[in-house]
A and B are shown apart, each in its own frame.
Chain A
Amino acid sequence: MVIREHTAPGFNRPAENFGNHVISQKTMNEFYTIIDIRHNVTLQHPVALLRSDFEFCFDAVCVQRDTAVVTAVFGPAEVKPQRILIDKASVEALYRPKTGLPRVHDKMRETLIRNTCSTALLVTLHPRTSISIIVQEMQDSGGLLACAVNAACLALINSGIAMKFLVAAVSCMIDHEDNILIDPNSKQLKGSKASLTFVFDSIKKNIMACHTTGRFTQLQYEESLLKCRNGSDKIFSFYREIVRKVHQEHDRMSPTCRT
């Protein structure tokens, strides 16, 4: 079995190390998803994602600059009797931190991902089933929540589950000089007054979820919302690019895949 490696020039991220070891052994065609909202550069060699040998499991590796998250979607599958919903699928999100057991702030992320995804999914199409979204944190260099939401959406795209629309999350921060910075890294976040994460839908670009910390004025909130909404366009066009590449990949001959 030959594993194809797509390494973009200048793509020497710490995230790659674990990626090649842990994931390649499991997946045959492995790609990375790189989302860069501020620079268009990485979009030219976006190396997409997602599939595993696991029978019904779909993986997405989402690398947003130095932040990396691995997601899997399992379902529509059989559901435990206590979680059964007779008119729709029960959506659950499982968030695993890098080390240790999930804590309070992990549960918060879990809830946000679950609420966002259950709104985006056409849950009424699969009554009495469960759809699990498993999110494993790999590396946090700022904007982890946004990365997790985007990774969950990529995994849902790849699983082929029916959805009403896609979602995209963008994070931003306000520094002490009141400048708004889109998609900050952890170094920049140390000098922040407030940090905000917005989730948008793909049709009308409405807010689906919002998470904020710190103090800011209403004006600053509105301004950062506007900037993040503009940033989300890049993610949505990136999703379309990914799907196009995956379908081309399947249509094209790939001799390296021979086992």
Chain B
Amino acid sequence: MEVNVGDVVLPGDVIQAPNTNDKGKLILGPGLCRHMDEVLITTSGVLRKKGRNVYWVDSHRKRYVPVKGDTVVGVVVNRSGDTFKVDIGSSEQASLSYLAFEGATKKNRPDVQIGDIVFAKLLEASRDLEPELVCVDSYGKKGKLGVLPEGGFIFTCSLNLIRKILNPKCQMLKILGSEIPYDIAVGMNGKLWLKTKSIKETIAIVNAILTAEHLQHHEIASLCDDVINALKGM
């Protein structure tokens, strides 16, 4: 079946030939694949388009598949020689070299223990290779990456919710932050790390974020106000 942008699509559907005169490239995002001269759908969801030639399928999946360049939150589960194994929720544990930290040298090893939470970037993510993490940018600076401080709370949610709260249109984290001071690390793998001053505030923010899954952007603002008022009333 041929489909257009904005339609509900199912695996096996074919995208209607986007202007054949257009000689520009076509960029295929998640949920699409090329077969001969056709573009086929591989996951069910809604077909989206951005700009002139970027297509993807919006779907609600929960399993993370590593993508190069994503920033993720992971738990260090093992260390073997000069690499750490980090659980990022994918089918395979990612590796993190001890040299991939700011200022790390062979003599000056970073202080990373098993059980630590790291906020890292995916340097390599291919289906045939082990995913590889780094905690520095290409200038060797750590920026926001690195081992997260102790005393935080880590929780998981669907990948769709992550994309929603990281959307620039979503004011959620900003509104909550105006009244409640907190630190948050949002990983594209569906893991979030949160640190506040008290347990009460942590619970409130976690609940607010998880509830936002089914809300639209304008409804999220009133949800945040509810949460803030409830906290102040206590």
Interface residues of A (CB under 8 A from B): 55-56, 58, 75-79, 120, 122, 125-129, 157-166, 201-203, 236, 239-240, 243-244, 246-247, 249-254, 257-259
Q: Using a CB–CB distance below 8 Å, which chain B residues touch chain A?
A: 8, 10-12, 31, 33, 40, 42-46, 58-63, 65, 89, 91-92, 127-128, 156, 160, 207, 210-211, 213-216, 219
Report the minimum CB–CB distance from A177 to chain B (whole Å): 38
By the criterion CB–CB under 8 Å, are B43 and A259 in contact?
no
For the complex of A and B, 6 pairs with smallest distance between CB atoms? A160-B61, A165-B12, A163-B11, A162-B42, A129-B91, A244-B8
Interface of chain B, main secondary structure: loop
Contacts of A257 in B (CB 8 A): 211, 213-214
Chain B residues contacting A129 (CB-CB under 8 Å) are: 91-92
Measured between beta carbons, the chain A residues less than 8 angstroms from B58 are 247
Q: Which residues of A contact B59 (CB under 8 A)?
A: 160
Q: Of B12, B127, B215, which one neighbours A126 at CB under 8 angstroms?
A: B127
Q: How far is the CA of A192 from the CA of B59 in the complex (A)?
A: 43
Min Cβ gap B89→A in Å is 8
Could you tell me if A160 and B210 are in contact, using CB atoms closer than 8 angstroms? no
| A58 near B44: Cβ-Cβ < 8 Å | no
**Bound CA–CA A163/B40 (angstroms):** 10
Contact (Cβ within 8 A) B42 A240: no
Q: Answer whether A166 and B127 are a contact pair too, CB < 8 Å, given A76-B65, A253-B214, A254-B214.
A: no
Distance, CA A126 to CA B89, complexed state (A): 15
Choose one: A56, A58, A79, A243; the contact of B45 (CB below 8 Å): A243
Does B10 contact A250, Cβ atoms closer than 8 Å? Answer: no
Bound together, the chains give a CA A258 to CA B212 distance in angstroms of: 9
Q: Which residues of the partner chain A approach B61 to less than 8 Å between Cβ atoms?
A: 159-161
* Cα of A257 to Cα of B216 in the assembled complex, Å: 13
Q: Which of B11, B42, B210 contacts A259 (CB 8 A)?
A: B210
A243 touches B44 (CB 8 A): yes
Which of B8, B31, B45, B219 gathers the greatest number of chain A CB atoms within 10 Å? B8
Task: Report yes or no: A122 in contact with B91, Cβ–Cβ below 8 A.
Answer: no
**Residue in B8, B10, B219 whose beta carbon sits within 8 Å of that of A253 in the complex:** B219
**Contact among B10, B160, B211 with A240 in the assembled complex (CB-CB below 8 Å):** B10
Known contacts A259-B207, A259-B211; is A160 also within 8 Å of B43 by CB?
yes
Task: Give A129 to B211 CA distance when docked, in angstroms.
Answer: 32
Q: Do A76 and B12 have beta carbons less than 8 Å apart?
A: no
Instruction: Give the CA-CA distance A127 to B213 in the complex, in Å.
Output: 31
With a cutoff of 8 Å between Cβ atoms, the chain A residues found around residue B11 in the complex are 120, 157, 162-166, 202
